[in-house]
Amino acid sequence: MQLYAKRTFALDTENAFKIGPLIAKQETQGHSIIRLNLGEPDFNVPEFIKDEIKQQLDKNNTHYCDPKGLYTLREAISHQIYLSRRIQISPEQIVIFPGAKPAIGFCQQAYCDPGDEIIYPSPGFPIYESFIRYLNAIPVPIHLSEENGFTFNIEQFIERLNPKTKMIFLNFPSNPTGGIATLKQLEEIASLILEKCHPHVRIFSDEIYEHIIYENQPHYSIASIPGMEKRTIICSGFSKSYAWTGGRIGYAVFPSVEEADVFKNLNINYFSCVPPYNQEGARVALEHPDAANHIKKMVEIFEQRRDYVIQTLNQIPGINCQKPKGTFYAFPNIQELCDNLNICEFYQKLPLPIQQQTTPSTLFQMFALYYHNVAVLDRKSFGKTGSEGEHFIRISYASDLPILKQGLSHLKNAAKDVDGFKKFINTSDLYFQ
Ligand code: PMP
């Protein structure tokens, strides 16, 4: 008898977290690692949120609460959705989750049967792909290509749509590429969906980075396009906009109350409810008069860092990086770097079982961590299917400038360390990952 159910190991992971113990191990051995791997703003949670949480704790608001989320918070979200997307939704269409992440797997569980096809961006947030195999559904990646500025390729989308398509994941601004969608692009996507998809096909619009957009560009949601509100799940949360990743407050807006109630029941089954004192903090985040200004200041700082990081990256021989329009990630192409360090050549010579476990950008990721004390993420951390032959890394610039300066200087050293890489590949088993 097997200990684990077959599906257990079909579930993949998010390497931004998985690499944590490797970093910790290096640190216990006396190395100081610059962490450019996590998508976590380095700012503190605004005082007005902290004050509200403290008051709520003093009021002993620490008991079970509505599994769908506090009505007051859902009301504030419905108001904010009206202001930002011009769609009128009832608070009863909204469900609060512990972060934006749980909505991804829950939606796939609730809407998809085995054999259903799920379209998602690649490179993209890894959890979209991770759950698909766990559910025996079929992953259908849309490749976001560098030549097209990592935007959604409409021709590929047309090719992939078919009667088996059940869910479509969109993520603008996008992790890891920082790409955003123009209104015209969203209109094209929407008109295809309206023309070709059954009304039960659900669009999961992950808008967690809705506020982290540069050069005063607006955020557009596909849900605002006429006809799409009834097919779209808007997912967002408080982790990025308020630098509050540990608060674990996210939400999804469903096309109907009936659908929202399905997720309320999943909440009841999995975790009963989300801490009410944090939900009150989230409500204040939406209602406080200083909130918009607070986000604006944070985004201005991210924009300065972006400009520094992209300029510096492009000065490193072998690295070519486009300027992201949103988020706090850079996604440079390291093809030439891999050539300069002979990474692809070494990769081709690895025994097949090892080759199958790694990729050239993974080898560089491990080399940068173990030999140059800087943590970044490889291409396959953002969707494995179809990522072969693509040599990219993701760098998070959610750290302050002195740290970024140091991290990029380590990367620069790694990028020219031909002998170091030779030593790494020949003497270590560190590339097993
Ligand atoms: N979606 C995307 C695209 C993300 O990048 C993240 C976090 N990295 C999430 C969802 C999850 O956010 P949360 O921490 O609120 O669960």
Rg (CA), the chain: 22
Ligand 1 center–CA 239 separation, angstroms = 7
3-state secondary structure of 394: strand
Residue 175 in contact with ligand 1 by CB distance below 6 A: yes
Alpha helices for 34-125 (secondary structure H) = 47-58, 71-85, 101-111
H helix or E strand, kind and range, residue 205: strand 202-206
Closest atom of ligand 1 relative to the 238 alpha carbon: 15
Closest atom of ligand 1 relative to the 14 alpha carbon: 8
pLDDT of residue 170: 98
The closest residue, in CA terms, to atom 8 on ligand 1 is 39
Instruction: Read off the amino acid at residue 19.
Output: I
Ligand 1 center–CA 120 separation, angstroms = 15
Ligand 1 center–CA 238 separation, angstroms = 10
Of 77, 219, 239, the one to substitute when testing ligand 1's pocket (max ligand atoms within 8 A of C-beta) is 239
| pLDDT value at 315 more than 60 | yes
What are the tens digits of pLDDT across the range 370-407?
Answer: 999 999 999 999 998 888 899 999 999 999 999 999 99
H helix or E strand, kind and range, residue 346: helix 343-349
For residue 274, what pLDDT band results from cuts at 50, 70 and 90?
A: very high
Ligand 1 center–CA 171 separation, angstroms = 10
- The predicted model gives 81-88 an average pLDDT of 97
Ligand 1 center–CA 347 separation, angstroms = 32
pTM above 0.95, yes or no: yes
| pLDDT value at 431 more than 80 | no
Distance CA(225)–CA(107), nearest Å, equals 21
For residue 330, what pLDDT band results from cuts at 50, 70 and 90?
A: very high
For residue 432, what pLDDT band results from cuts at 50, 70 and 90?
A: low
The share of the chain scoring above pLDDT 90, in percent, equals 90
* Residues contacting 344, CB < 8 A, separation 6+: 338, 360, 391
pLDDT of residue 429: 66
